[in-house]
Amino acid sequence: MTESGTSRHIRLETIGAVAHLILDRPEKRNALNLEMWQAIPPLVAQAEADPAVKVIIVRGVDRTAFAAGADISQFHERFRNRDTALTYMNAVNGAAGALAHCAKPAVATIHGDCVGGGVEIAIACDLRFCSSASRFGITPARLGICYSMASTRRVSQAIGPSKTKDLLFTGRLIDAATAQDWGLADRVCGPDALDGETAAFVESICRNSQYSVRFAKRALREIAAGATEEPDPLRELRLGAYDAGDLKEGIAAYLEKRKPAFEWNG
């Protein structure tokens, strides 16, 4: 296991092919301060650049919470004027964007509450697995602040505009079962089963061709951005599968009735 980080409340631990981005501020229920938001992009970039890493898991350090939101105790300072507000807003957008645009899959493992800024981090991940004890909410209307356009779009794409309005207009919390029914959570597990379920799912990704996995993420991002036809760069990327090596290995393994040993790591 390797460990590194740029904030004492957030760090990256790499175990085999999985990088764990850990929110470690349990005394504040992992409320995200400016330093934590700013630390996320370089940590994601580090995981993305590591050829050994195939998947990123984002999680809290324990079962206290995934993230209870942004650190409201900082808001008096962070929103004292337009310049400081812009710095803070850019940090939040940069953190969520780093996960959303990372070439490698990211899975949020959610114990406890996932609220406000926590949802911004979770919705930027490709999938969200949560505990049956988890709750979700988007609460800026309780504070008089505005959720970012990018995160609002991601939530709306996941659960639809009407349910997004419900969460944004009321600021209410919904339980894990409702979150799954709406599409905000992809899988709900018992608290004791969540980590194991996530690990097994991630392992299934790691066994597959990473060229295929990363192409799928790139294609889905283009579709979410409104593409209706395959852009030339994406077509070239798809054709590149013939040169990457995994395709030949996959066909050979199928014909030889064995498990493939994919080696492409980007």
pTM of the model: 0.93
Q: Give the C-alpha separation, 203 to 255, whole Å.
A: 24
Q: Which of 39-48, 50-59, 73-82 has the lowest mean pLDDT?
A: 73-82
Q: Give the C-alpha separation, 178 to 175, whole Å.
A: 5
Say how many C-beta atoms besides its own lie within 10 A of residue 263's C-beta: 12
Please state the separation of Cα 83 from the chain's center in Å.
28
Local confidence band at 160 (pLDDT 50, 70, 90 cut-offs): very high
Say how many C-beta atoms besides its own lie within 10 A of residue 65's C-beta: 25
Over residues 200-240, the pLDDT tens digits come to 999 999 999 999 999 999 999 999 989 999 999 999 999 99
Angle at 142 between CA 139 and CA 147, to 5 degrees: 45
Mean pLDDT on 76-96? 90
Q: Which of 9-18, 90-99, 239-248 has the lowest mean pLDDT?
A: 239-248
Domain boundaries along the sequence of the chain: 2-205, 209-255
Strand partners, 135: 113, 175
pLDDT of 3 > 60? The answer is: no
DSSP conformation class of 27:
G
For 2-205, CATH gives: 3.90.226.10
Query: How many residues comprise the chain?
Result: 266
- Residue 251 vs residues 54, 94, 215, 254, 259: alpha-carbon distances, Å: 22, 40, 18, 5, 10
